[in-house]
Amino acid sequence: MNKVEGFICRSCKTRTYPRHRRCPTCGGEDFESFDLGGRVRLLTFTRIYMLSLAFHERFITLGIGEFEDGLRALGKLLVDEPKVGMELEVVTGVVKMENGIPIQGLCFKEAAGA
């Protein structure tokens, strides 16, 4: 399964996801990638209906997860009844289909032992 890549600014070490053209902290343009993983806290979420045909689902739930260092990332929430503040872990999963090909992306599931 693919990994989701985050990016670290080589100048100031700020982590971003997804990649920005310039670092939001120092304006640097030189990044290295890292595997986005670990635990996040759910900050907020929304459920989207009326999806395009690229989604083979009745609805999807998107959430913003905050990592320990403050990095916030938008991902697909694989939780039936999400609650703000719950602990999640990063996984990779199918986020949509493009021409019949599943596209992998950032997802969150309920953290083990949470």
Q: Which of 54, 68, 51 is nearest to 15 (CA)?
A: 68
Distance (Å, whole) CA 95 – CA 1: 13
Q: How far is the CB of 110 from Zn ion (least distance, A)?
A: 33
Residue placing its CB nearer to Zn ion in the complex, 33 or 46 = 33
The stretch near Zn ion (CB under 5 A) out of 19-27, 30-38, 52-60, 93-101 is 19-27
Residue placing its CB nearer to Zn ion in the complex, 28 or 37 = 28
Query: Which residues in the 20-79 window bind Zn ion by CB under 5 A?
Result: 23, 25-26, 28
# chain residues binding Zn ion, by CB under 5 A:
8
DSSP class per residue in 69-88: TS-EEEEEE--SS--TT-EE
Distance (Å, whole) CA 75 – CA 91: 10
Distance (Å, whole) CA 105 – CA 20: 17
Contacts of residue 28, Cβ cutoff 8 Å, sequence gap at least 6 = 9, 10, 11, 12, 22
106 touches Zn ion (CB under 5 A): no
Q: How far is the CB of 11 from Zn ion (least distance, A)?
A: 5
The stretch near Zn ion (CB under 5 A) out of 9-17, 57-65, 67-75, 106-114 is 9-17
Residues that bind Zn ion (CB under 5 A): 9, 11-12, 14, 23, 25-26, 28
